[in-house]
Amino acid sequence: MQFLEFAEVCERLEGIAGRLEMIEQVAAVLPRLDDDELPVFVRFIMGRVFPDWSTKNLGVGPNLLYDAVAYVVGTKRDTVREAINATGDAGLAVERLLAKKEQTSFFMQELGLVDVYREFERMAAAGGQRSQREKLRVAQGLFGNARPLEGRYLARLMLEELRIGMGEGNVRDAVARAFAVDVRLVEHAHQAMNDLGQVALLARRDPDALSRVTIEPFRPVKMMLAQAGTIAAQLEDHGEVAVEHKYDGSRFQFHKVGGVSRIYSRKLEEVTGSLPDIARLLVEATNHDVILDGEAVAVRDGKPMPFQYVIRRFRRKHEVDAMMEQIELVPRVFDILYLDGESLMDRPLSERRKILDEVLTAHVAEQFRVTDVAGAEAIYNEALGLGHEGVMVKVLDSPYTPGVRGRLWVKVKPGVETLDLVVVGAEWGEGRRAGTFGSFLLAVQDQGRLLAVGKVATGINDETLAELYALFKDKVIARSGKEVTLEPDVVFEVGYSEIQASPNYGSGYALRFPRFVRVREDKSADEAESLDSLIERYLRQKNGQGSL
């Protein structure tokens, strides 16, 4: 497939509003692709370049993009920037700039879909001091051979924001339909492989094998997530539940085979080098080959320390030893996904838990079986007294469902609820805030689209304001008056007093009294609050349901 055909599919999809029609369009394309093209197409159409388990990263920011396009169309970086500011969309601006250039160039090569992927791989592989120059050269080559429409989607892919609304769920359904396999099998394989591209290939070649796909060490799977909920509702539905403390740390996944072990963060980045103490403690606690799921918590004098201490350790690449002396991390392991060559993901939690107790001699998070609200409340109060965030309530016969935020795990926390929202724009500040960004535009995600839900300006002190400016200044994609559009890869945790229905923002909702809490460095944009979950919170709030 030529990249142009891919671009044409994207353009068609952009014009379709209905989910089913989008799925049908994509399903019609998949069988026509060859084996090299299929996985690439499947990832690209979701706006992703590499498999989710992969630690590869393109590392292209807006500035590199401006420079590459400026070079190709023979203009200045500022002209590109202005064009992007005028449209507010890097893709459309690049398309228009390339359209002007097109009449004058005769030496373009056809870009194949797989060629583009190979070039992206080269960009990701470029390291060291020269990496920016190498990435720029590759980007120049790509835009130099791109027709205007190709330019639109090349730019968006490089910024990892395709904006066509083909999220993971839609693509999964399209794969199932294209190769006439049960969507549950596709989902099962996707959870274990963590790469819909490879799943699509398997669905075509050997659909029977989909059910046999299992999790593999050193290929991290997405973490199972929790919904906010109440203990009472879970007890009513299930009679008996497992209750655990909700530790305020950072999630990790630990993989070990023989003498080799690795640790992955919640974003599935490898963080083994930053957490030698966690690795050592877990290696000492088991002789088995395992994949474990847990929370790394910071402790001082036996008391848990806030999350900020933990995240500092996760980020640390240099002087890890010095940092280790200041911040001691300990693992609290609450799940096991793999043991000695066998996946445990489909076993019920109660069974996984029993196995965990048998194979790990220390660091297993405490778990309580509870049948009545009073018992659960006592554990909840104890958890808060110990300085934890609240409790997790888990369904005893539930499988491990990677990446799913369902009702099998429910989190119960006191006080104000917060939302994790993607920062998609900012506004220049005034007065004391002049020269930095004074407020930030926030969005929820909905199948790959980002929909605005409000702005946040309060709760940010001067020090944080400066840090946020440093964080965002190289992520500006477009400017218009006092507003800028940002590369959407930072997540803010935001407090609020109420969710309101509102026509002012794309999501159809707005936040009353939004308040900045912190940057969720451990979360990526596709893990931010979804529109569905926002609506659920809105309804829960309307019905006046409490938190216990």
295 is in an annotated binding site: yes
73 vs 242, which CB is nearer to ligand ATP?
242
DSSP three-state, residue 185: helix
The alpha carbon of 163 is separated from its chain's Cα centroid by a whole number of angstroms, namely 16
351 or 427, CB closer to ligand ATP?
351
**How far is 80 from 376, CA to CA, in rounded Å?**
59
- CA distance from start to end of the chain: 54
Axis crossing angle, helix 231-238 with helix 373-385, rounded to the nearest 10 = 140
Nearer to ligand ATP, 37 or 420 (CB): 420
Least distance to ligand ATP from the beta carbon of 394, Å?
Answer: 7
In sequence order, what are the beta bridge partners of 112?
Answer: 2
CA dist 412 and 226 (Å) reads 10
Kindly give, in sequence order, each residue whose CB lies less than 8 Å from that of residue 202, ignoring residues fewer than 6 positions away.
189, 209, 210, 213
For 36-105, the DSSP string reads THHHHHHHHHTT-SS-TT--------HHHHHHHHHHHHT--HHHHHHHHHHHS-HHHHHHHHHHHHHTT-
Residues binding ligand ATP (CB under 6 A): 223, 225-226, 244, 246-247, 251, 295, 334, 365, 392, 411, 420
Nearer Cβ to ligand ATP, position 274 or 436? 274
Cβ–Cβ < 8 Å for 273, 320: yes
Dist. CA 235–CA 487, nearest whole Å:
42
Could you tell me where the beta strands, DSSP code E, fall in 301-340? 303-304, 328-339
Active site residues: 246
Report d(CA 154, CA 7) in Å as an integer.
Answer: 9
Smallest distance from the beta carbon of 360 to ligand ATP, in angstroms?
14
Task: Return the exposure string of 423-432: e unless at least 16 CB atoms fall within 10 Å of the residue's CB, then b.
Answer: bbbbbbbeee
| Euclidean distance between CA atoms 84 and 94, whole angstroms | 8
Q: Describe the chain by its helix, strand, coil percentages, rounded to 5.
A: 45, 25, 30
Enter the tokens of residue 222.
């997405």
Least distance in Å: CB of 168 to ligand ATP? 17
Cα atoms found within 13 Å of the Cα of residue 329, Cβ hemisphere only: 33
| Residue 120 annotated as lining a ligand binding site | no
How far apart (Å, rounded) are the C-alpha atoms in residues 443 and 161? 14
Minimum CB distance to ligand ATP, residue 86 (Å): 37
Rg (CA), the chain: 24
C-beta of 97: minimal distance to ligand ATP in Å?
40
- Report the distance separating Cα 398 and Cα 82, nearest Å: 53
Asked if residue 288 lies in contact with residue 307, where contact means CB atoms within 8 angstroms, the answer is no
Looking at the Cβ atoms of 250 and 485, the one nearer to ligand ATP is 250
Q: What whole-number distance in Å separates Cα of residue 57 and Cα of residue 28?
A: 30
Pair of tokens at residue 71: 């070079």
Q: Is 334 annotated as a binding residue?
A: yes
CB of 287 to ligand ATP, least distance (A): 24
CB atoms within 10 A of CB 464: 14
Nearest to ligand ATP of 147, 523 (CB atom): 523
What is the β-pairing status of strands 405-412 and 225-228? parallel
For the bound state, the minimum distance from the C-beta of residue 206 to ligand ATP, rounded and expressed in Å, comes to: 34
Shortest distance (Å) from residue 295 CB to ligand ATP: 4
Q: Is 244 annotated as a binding residue?
A: yes
Closest CA to 445 of 13, 46, 31, 10: 46
User: 213, 172, 199, 254: which is closest to 51 by C-alpha?
Assistant: 199
Please say which residue, 67 or 420, places its beta carbon nearer to ligand ATP: 420
Q: Does the annotation flag 12 for ligand binding?
A: no
Please list, in sequence order, all residues whose beta carbon lies within 8 angstroms of the beta carbon of residue 37, skipping any fewer than 6 positions away. 1, 113, 114
Nearer to ligand ATP, 173 or 244 (CB): 244
Q: How far is the CB of 411 from ligand ATP (least distance, A)?
A: 5
Q: Which C-beta is closer to ligand ATP: that of 61 or that of 390? A: 390
> Residues comprising the binding site?
244, 251, 266, 295, 334, 405, 411
Known binding-site residues for ATP equal 244, 251, 266, 295, 334, 405, 411
